[in-house]
Structure 1
């Protein structure tokens, strides 16, 4: 249980350390966020916003015919047939066809675009245009090449124009025709436009080809079903554009053009039927007039007013047969007319429908044949006769035409058989009425012919009116459910999303950089790093990093952060020595060169001297002596190496007095660099000098060589009562801290304690919790200095 609580506390401390670590770079996070949000703002400010414009239409079929204005004529068979899936997909492709889109482009003149040149971006204009370009010769508009006209309004009557960036600047008047590369044009001003008042600014008129405008529109427009349900006939038309009104006008115009095209296709069959009926009426009128004239002549010649009552009963029986014969004769006449029309008509000509032929097979064959003709004509509008689909339709049409002929022949033969049967029955009755005067019989024949012609004449008149009604009440195929409208919110750029991305990126950039820097960072930075690596060894103090302009040596009554750090180091060293009941010999060493052991040893000596203690500083690093850098002595003095080499040299002859603003302490320099430093340090002379001076001074500070590079320090380490092991922040590798621990564990160094040199002020203590503040005589740095420190430009 205790182990779990301990692990939990460690994880909590580790998390807090991580948070504190990243909070040290708070300024970089604020700077990164500021830059990213500023970039996002500028992007939003100068980006072109795009909006979604939509229109919804209903493709009419039998299931929604009741919504149509033509529903009252359902009994005449004027409603369309239901759309299957294939036909529905065909309507989608027709809406996106180049033929319809070309007409939309021409109606809206979408190939001519107007732009206003701004200081940062160029924006397209659609409404409130300052002027309009008129092209007089539009016969070859499809062959026009793309042109760019740069126009500057000079006044209400004049403007400057040049073709492209390299064109010659010319001056013209508004409404005055002039010639350019695309032909004769003119500019019509719109002085009421707000844009017209932007004088001396450039406007661009981009003239593109219709084909290019159609291609652009095909890429932008999307047509799709609003539901996956196959029974739904509702389509949604969508365009994403920066110009709301232009997109809405494009969608509304496309629907209007589609309806116009569909009405034209629907009227093709009705128009051909009307023409056929008119021709037949002219023939029947002449025939009926001839029959009626013959009847009048016959009655006048024979003075006939009524048929004798004797033959009335037989005639009534024959009447029913005559009615059947009339119906058969009418059907045969219609079939003959249809057969003649097919024989004389050209290929791919629509056949008359709804003529009253009673045979269902013939009517169905004619309707299917007409549907194939219309589909072929619509495909030819956007393709050629070599199209495989067109060829397949042509083959089907030929086959269906033969089927129609065969059906007509079959029905005609059936009617002939029926007619012969009726005639046989009439002949039988005729034998019974043989006594009826031949005049009455002849009169009946004439009336029969008259009845047939009248029935056919009235029938054709009825069909002509029905066809006229069909032409008059033809409604659009696409019913508008929702006219084109544009969403208020743009689809791109999206402010919320962009600002969210800016925030994420603003946090992520410094976080990733700091994470990578931390991940690959193997140096120590503060006492926390040292405690993690060697938790069993104490830390005496932390020495701050100093600016290059500051002095490396503390002075009397010094109130700097550096002086305070050495006072803390001095105090902790005193406690450490007392706790161990050690002597006064203090070795100062490090792992490698450059960690600041001589700097720590020298200033520690000064700090101890300020407490009125007698201090001796010995330079025992005789391979690379550094103490002389801090002593302003012009004369060369002998030092420790001479003492170790020459037994005639005594301690007093190598001891030097150092005065730091009235504070005196003794220094024994390293002397000349010998060829055999290890052997000299192993001699009894070094042990002798230590034994001699330790009783004479309160503190003996020995500056020794780095332990990892040479063996000198390890040779004399047992003579130390306390070892101050110096490591340097931002310089010492964490792995090197294991080396002094091993030396301590193996007994090669006694009573070791760390002094951390070169720590930044922000890294003092545990996340600055115990760092040195301002107020104890230390002047607060300027805002500029703190800013540089926050940016890590100043250590």
Structure 2
């Protein structure tokens, strides 16, 4: 949980960022205006795209193609195909299917006309011309042609820099393409030049298959499929989806009729041979009866014949099954390729019917997969191997069924022979008729059965309907999906705000200079004594008595803070230093002395920068001797060092004297303490201007003699890394009672440092030493 202090700090940081941005409000206004202009131009030149959608219901077809097929062919098990929405999704977005749709709609040619800021694509009834492609290659796909109507049923064709004149309907042969240009439905209404672009339908079908066409279930594990695409011409999108669904249904019906057609072909072949055999048997019976006069037999013979006939019927049915089984075994055994296996017809064996159904289902799936895959596809190879295994199982099952039927036939033959012995007394003529009738019955029964199944299968072809149903016809949304105006303008607004804000914030983050007094306290912990604003060009560098300028008020504010921030401790000896040169030590020392002297305080300024002294130069004063002379010569008194400032009688100055060769050693001279003690007795304030502590350690030698150490930090000049020096001084107490004055501050934000009725902000940058 965040503490109140942390939350307050975050709010202050946000406030600072907002204030920095508010200063450059005009930049935000410009960038937002430019962003809106860019958004407007983008919307003007970008053709809108509309979403076209349709909903399709894929019906479950596990039990066959409707009630008619289920009742007519329930014993054949030849139409059981497990249809799933996931499988149909892949079929709907297959490249072959999409290519057929694009080809039927003649989308290999696109037509455009120039508008104010963009090109408008024409389609269908809006076409002034229609182009028929007879031949085209890669070179033709890269060309853009312009057709301009002329008089007398002629037009000009511009191909790059060349222009030709042709008649409508004339064959045009050029490198890369052969086309015929005819008049379109809107020829009379539209006489503008039309740009023509050719499209490779293979690439276009690939684009629709991969990304352009979206096919997905409405909800998970449901048979309802949603089909959608985005198109700049809504009617074209509607036509594509309509043709896609129609073509899909047509191919779906064709796929389902393949098994029935193959079964009809098989039955037709068998009927052809059975018809010949049956004619021969019937002719033999007729000839036998004509050559032999046949009389009626007695009741006993009729009974024996009845029993024999009963077993003969059973034997005939078994023979029918054996013949059908032999036909199927021969068909399966003689088929080298993976064709569909016909129905097992009268053989009521659940295992055989299940194997045949599975084999035909795999064959349907293999045909579907061949449309979108190569022969070497691992999935296709695996599917082929499954079919080979099923085919072997079918052959093995046929052999097992055949063995069982052969055993049954042998038993029936034995029973038939038993009754045949009883009727041996029947005249040979009658026995001959029975023998011939038996064969005739077998062939006639098989012929009738096959003929019935052929008619039922033919009926199924006429009753085949698509397993998909259109729930929502293709339609488009009147609101464009792209570009979306509200979103574009929203992004334009965000872009117009984020870019300048990012630049402002980035500059602030990358800036290594101190630009805020709060950074000083945050990084070092040293209290801020006061803030001095930037000195404008028309302002003097040294304030005057009774001045009401901003700078004079800020120095009076610092004068007051010296007493309050020092908590009643002595503040008579003030040490002024900084991290580096040109941070305003001398400027501050002079004006602080002037401010203190203005309230009738006796103040003395000491130039203790023994390396590059500037105090006397800034005050336009000269001295013959200074501190170094005093330290080296015991005969020189303090009175000889003091120079009047010419501004206030209470403000006096002591120069550093000649620059020594060894300033560091001079700073440790014992007479320095005597000098400061004597000045403390004679003056109310002693202000010491020293060298920067970031470059030399001179100021540290004076620390034992001082009450307050004032550290100058200059706006946008002092490096933040150099504040570590101040932090180190504060932590290890290298200087007495350190305080910071933020110098040369400018108005980078709305933060203002004020006193009483005054509010002082930051001004315009101006160099100050």
Question: TM-score normalised to the size of structure 2?
Answer: 0.73
Q: Which residue of structure 1 aligns with residue 516 of structure 2? A: 525
Contact 1:639 1:654 survives alignment (8 Å): no
Q: Which residue of structure 2 aligns with residue 760 of structure 1? A: 746
Q: Which residue of structure 2 aligns with residue 26 of structure 1? A: 21
SS at match of 1:417: helix
Provide the C-alpha distance between the structure 1 equivalents of 2:571 and 2:363, rounded to a whole number of angstroms: 116
Matched, 1:624 2:626: no
Matched, 1:149 2:143: yes
Contact 2:156 2:163 survives alignment (8 Å): yes
User: Which deviates more from structure 2 when the two are superposed, residues 753-762 or residues 680-689?
Assistant: 680-689
**Offset at residue 459 of structure 1 (A):** 3.5
Contact 2:58 2:223 survives alignment (8 Å): yes
Q: 2:587 aligns with which of 595, 599, 603?
A: 599
Q: Which residue of structure 2 aligns with residue 430 of structure 1? A: 423
**Residue-by-residue CA offset, 1:149-174 (whole Å, 9 max, x unaligned):** 324454587766555xx664556566
Provide the C-alpha distance between the structure 1 equivalents of 2:700 and 2:287, rounded to a whole number of angstroms: 156
Q: 1:318 aligns with which of 287, 298, 305?
A: 305
Distance 1:242 1:79, change over 3 A: farther
Provide the C-alpha distance between the structure 2 equivalents of 1:774 and 1:173, rounded to a whole number of angstroms: 89
**Residue-by-residue CA offset, 1:151-198 (whole Å, 9 max, x unaligned):** 4454587766555xx66455656654422334321345556499968x
Q: Which residue of structure 2 aligns with residue 4 of structure 1? A: none
SS at match of 1:60: coil
**Residue-by-residue CA offset, 1:257-289 (whole Å, 9 max, x unaligned):** 444334333323323433444455566666767
Provide the C-alpha distance between the structure 2 equivalents of 1:454 and 1:717, rounded to a whole number of angstroms: 133
Q: How does 1:586-735 map to 2 (within 5 A)?
A: 588-590=576-578, 592-608=580-596, 617-631=605-619, 638=624, 640=626, 644=630, 655=643, 658=646, 669-670=655-656, 672-675=658-661, 679=666, 682=669, 691=678, 695=682, 701-706=687-692, 709-710=695-696, 724-730=710-716, 731=718, 733-735=722-724
Provide the C-alpha distance between the structure 1 equivalents of 2:412 and 2:176, rounded to a whole number of angstroms: 73
Provide the C-alpha distance between the structure 1 equivalents of 2:351 and 2:564, rounded to a whole number of angstroms: 120
Matched, 1:184 2:178: yes
Q: 1:564 aligns with which of 545, 550, 553?
A: 553
SS at match of 1:216: helix
**Offset at residue 467 of structure 1 (A):** 1.9
Provide the C-alpha distance between the structure 2 equivalents of 1:433 and 1:676, rounded to a whole number of angstroms: 159
**Offset at residue 469 of structure 1 (A):** 0.2
Q: How does 1:22-101 map to 2 (within 5 A)?
A: 22-27=17-22, 45=43, 55-58=55-58, 60-62=60-62, 70=69, 73=72, 75=74, 77=76, 80-83=79-82, 97-101=94-98
Distance 1:773 1:58, change over 3 A: farther
**Offset at residue 424 of structure 1 (A):** 1.9
Contact 2:78 2:357 survives alignment (8 Å): no
**Offset at residue 516 of structure 1 (A):** 9.9
**Offset at residue 471 of structure 1 (A):** 1.5
Matched, 1:137 2:134: yes
SS at match of 1:62: coil
Distance 1:729 1:160, change over 3 A: same
Provide the C-alpha distance between the structure 2 equivalents of 1:624 and 1:715, rounded to a whole number of angstroms: 17
Q: How does 1:184-223 map to 2 (within 5 A)?
A: 184-188=178-182, 190=184, 192=186, 199=192, 203=195, 205-208=197-200, 210-220=201-211
Distance 1:224 1:311, change over 3 A: farther
Contact 2:127 2:185 survives alignment (8 Å): yes
SS at match of 1:546: coil
Q: Which residue of structure 1 aligns with residue 464 of structure 2? A: 474
Contact 2:668 2:701 survives alignment (8 Å): yes
**Residue-by-residue CA offset, 1:211-270 (whole Å, 9 max, x unaligned):** 4334334423566677776xx666666667777665665555444444433433332332
Q: How does 1:390-401 map to 2 (within 5 A)?
A: 392=385, 395-396=388-389, 399=392
**Offset at residue 474 of structure 1 (A):** 1.7
Q: How does 1:174-573 map to 2 (within 5 A)?
A: 176-188=170-182, 190=184, 192=186, 199=192, 203=195, 205-208=197-200, 210-220=201-211, 249-250=239-240, 252-278=242-268, 281=271, 311-312=298-299, 314-315=301-302, 318-319=305-306, 321-322=308-309, 324-326=311-313, 328-329=315-316, 332=319, 335-336=322-323, 339=326, 347-348=336-337, 352-353=342-343, 355-357=345-347, 383-384=374-375, 388-389=381-382, 392=385, 395-396=388-389, 399=392, 402-403=395-396, 406=399, 410=403, 413-414=406-407, 416-417=409-410, 420-421=413-414, 423-431=416-424, 433=426, 455-456=445-446, 458-480=448-470, 490=481, 514=505, 523=514, 525-526=516-517, 529-530=520-521, 533-534=524-525, 540-547=529-536, 551-555=540-544, 558-573=547-562
The answer for unaligned runs of 5 or more in structure 2 is none
Distance 1:376 1:597, change over 3 A: closer
Matched, 1:103 2:100: yes
Contact 1:151 1:160 survives alignment (8 Å): no
Provide the C-alpha distance between the structure 2 equivalents of 1:511 and 1:261, rounded to a whole number of angstroms: 58
Provide the C-alpha distance between the structure 2 equivalents of 1:15 and 1:380, rounded to a whole number of angstroms: 65
Distance 1:684 1:124, change over 3 A: same
Give the superposed CA RMSD.
5.8
SS at match of 1:625: coil
User: Which deviates more from structure 2 when the two are superposed, residues 98-107 or residues 465-474?
Assistant: 98-107
SS at match of 1:178: strand
SS at match of 1:467: helix
Contact 1:530 1:737 survives alignment (8 Å): no
**Residue-by-residue CA offset, 1:93-132 (whole Å, 9 max, x unaligned):** 6555554444344334455455678898878776776456
Distance 1:247 1:722, change over 3 A: same
Provide the C-alpha distance between the structure 2 equivalents of 1:469 and 1:74, rounded to a whole number of angstroms: 11
Provide the C-alpha distance between the structure 1 equivalents of 2:285 and 2:134, rounded to a whole number of angstroms: 67
Distance 1:206 1:110, change over 3 A: same
Provide the C-alpha distance between the structure 1 equivalents of 2:103 and 2:597, rounded to a whole number of angstroms: 99
SS at match of 2:414: helix
Provide the C-alpha distance between the structure 2 equivalents of 1:384 and 1:464, rounded to a whole number of angstroms: 34
Aligned residue-pair number = 745
**Residue-by-residue CA offset, 1:512-571 (whole Å, 9 max, x unaligned):** 985996699585831673487456x6x543211335675534356655432321232344
Contact 1:643 1:649 survives alignment (8 Å): no
Provide the C-alpha distance between the structure 2 equivalents of 1:553 and 1:173, rounded to a whole number of angstroms: 94
The answer for unaligned runs of 5 or more in structure 1 is 1-6
Provide the C-alpha distance between the structure 2 equivalents of 1:468 and 1:377, rounded to a whole number of angstroms: 23
Distance 1:160 1:610, change over 3 A: farther
Provide the C-alpha distance between the structure 1 equivalents of 2:546 and 2:150, rounded to a whole number of angstroms: 84
**Offset at residue 468 of structure 1 (A):** 1.6
Provide the C-alpha distance between the structure 2 equivalents of 1:605 and 1:193, rounded to a whole number of angstroms: 95
Contact 1:135 1:186 survives alignment (8 Å): yes
Distance 1:514 1:446, change over 3 A: closer
